[in-house]
Amino acid sequence: MQDRSYTNTKNKEQFNHNRVAFAQVFLAGNYDSLLAKLKVGDIIIDAGANIGMFTIRAARIVGKKGCVIAIEPQHENIEFLKKNIRM
């Protein structure tokens, strides 16, 4: 079955926004200084989690003994966040 997530203009705009966020986080390293402060067992609140780029990286660091609470108010982002967390 073909994924039709980006078939309307709003979803295309969101997709482009997410691509920019990806570049800022992974290519420019905007979160590196924050992630460097985390350790196994930490509890983190990611307010404005967007599609989960920080959430996922933080969860890998804090591990099963820690917890990342992702808060995202935009419905469109929540769906992407859920998908990304499941990956």
Distance CA 41, CA 8 (A): 41
Write down the pLDDT at residue 87. 80
Distance CA 46, CA 42 (A): 12
The count of other CB atoms within 10 Å of the CB of residue 55 is 21
Global pTM?
A: 0.67
* Domains of the chain: residue spans and CATH: 9-86 (3.40.50.150)
Sequence-ordered strand ranges (E) for the chain? 43-47, 67-71
Token representation of residue 71: 């808060």
* Ramachandran angles phi, psi of 81, nearest 5°: -60, -50
Write down the pLDDT at residue 73. 92
Q: What is the pLDDT of residues 48-80, one digit of tens each?
A: 898 898 999 999 999 999 999 999 999 888 988
